[in-house]
Amino acid sequence: MHQSKQIIMGALLVSFLDIVLSKCFWRKCSSTNGHTITLDNGKEFSGFKSLQQSLNVNVYFADPYCSWQRGTNENTNALLRRFFPKGTDFSTITNRQLQTAVDTINHRTRKILNYQTPAELFFR
């Protein structure tokens, strides 16, 4: 399996960078064999250089309007939309609601992961 997918699947919520940036996550990711991370062009990724240095990986940016270059991210966004439809006011979402969504998604088997869950692979 391509290692950058494993990192992204482990993170799962790449578009929610503030969740992903926990010290525990960084320690786990820096111990994997990941080589690349592909991000979209959002301002939330302006700190990509520290990400690159912290994880010792190459960071790439997808071309504008080329969502197929970030397939895992697009799939994850679709899964998140099942819990939080477009237009959801996230200021009304509790930490518990968010954690329930994250746990449910992280424990869902994926064909691309040989029918394992992201949680199984990430915490292996």
Q: Give the confidence band of 31 by pLDDT, cuts at 50, 70, 90.
A: low
Residue 82's pLDDT is 93
Using CA atoms of 54, 73, 82, 98 in order, give the dihedral in degrees to the nearest 10: 0
What is the CATH code for 3-122?
3.30.420
Closest CA to 33 of 58, 65, 8, 4: 4
Q: Break the chain into its structural domains and give their ranges.
A: 3-122
Q: Is the pLDDT of residue 7 over 60?
A: no
Write down the pTM of the prediction.
Answer: 0.57
Q: Give the confidence band of 83 by pLDDT, cuts at 50, 70, 90.
A: very high
Give the mean model confidence (pLDDT) for residues 56-63.
Answer: 86
